[in-house]
Chain A
Amino acid sequence: MMAARPRTLKDARAVYSTNSELAWWVFMRISGFLLVFLVFAHVFANNILTNAGTIDYDYVASRLAQPSVRILDSFLLGFALLHGMNGLRYSIDDYIKRPGVRFWVKVIAYTVAVAIFVVGVMTLWTFTFDEMGAAIRDLTPAQ
């Protein structure tokens, strides 16, 4: 068990035995920097420029109709989920000691995260099940 997470790029290279852990260490810093701007813009638009207590279907529909919102929120969804789930993985490794429990907690967490990612992409890019149904019917040859 590692005593402390490395504090510099040089330490990280020396400590992490695998390239993937080093890559995650770098990813957390790059994605964190990008998320500062993505999340602030998202929170500002939906909580400061808007009264969050008035948000309803029409408001979300009008936002998701804008391509810029779809694109920015897609980056937000991807980076935030990867950054957040990797942070959760660090926390699980730190606080859940029993290997069996740790394994199953991770299985559940990753399964939920993948499902939420799929649902999020569907929401951003297809918007309604009706629209999606129509798109699928268009692709399916007539009976």
Chain B
Amino acid sequence: MYRGREGQWAFFLHRISGIALVLYLLLHVFDISLVMYGPNGPFNRFLIFYHQWPFRIGLILIIAGVVYHALNGLRIILLDFTPWAIKYQRVMWYGVLAVTTAVGIPVLIKILPEIFGGA
């Protein structure tokens, strides 16, 4: 589908992560709003449902999307507002991927044991 170079992949991942994040945001605000029904309302039952491992893996993917979208967004801002950044757009995208991975590894080390035991 995408045969372009790095810039096109950067755009594609920004799109996909952005759409995922806004859909998550809508769902997340709705879920948290259930606290309005009070301590004996549906909130805790909902949360126990979301504490199952597939949803927690999904949350890790959402965090990865947040980190990528944020860093690539900063790259876009630099491209738009500085005269020099365009020369380095490709290397900056690899930098975005590298920092996303570098942030992701300790996040995985923190969260995976919470899900699968050992924490």
Contacts and interface: CB of A to CB of B under 8 A. Distances in A.
Given A123-B32, A126-B36, A9 B70 contact: no
B114 A33 contact: no
B70 A40 contact: yes
B51 A57 contact: no
Contacts of B30: 116, 119
B18 interface: yes
Interface of A: 7-9, 29, 32-33, 35-36, 39-40, 43, 47-48, 51-53, 55-58, 60-61, 64, 77, 80-81, 84-85, 87-88, 91, 112-113, 116, 119-120, 122-123, 126-130, 132
B60 to A, nearest CB: 9
* Binding site secondary structure of chain B: helix
A8 to B, nearest CB: 6
Contact of A113 (B15, B26, B76, B79): B26
A130 B89 CA distance: 53
B36 A127 contact: yes
A33 B86 CA distance: 19
Interface in B31-61: 32-33, 35-39, 41, 43-44, 47, 51, 56, 59
B33 A122 contact: yes
B19 interface: yes
Contacts of A36: 70, 73-74
Given A29-B77, A40-B70, A91-B15, A47 B35 contact: no
A123 B35 contact: yes
A8 B80 contact: yes
Given A8-B80, A53-B114, A123 B29 contact: yes
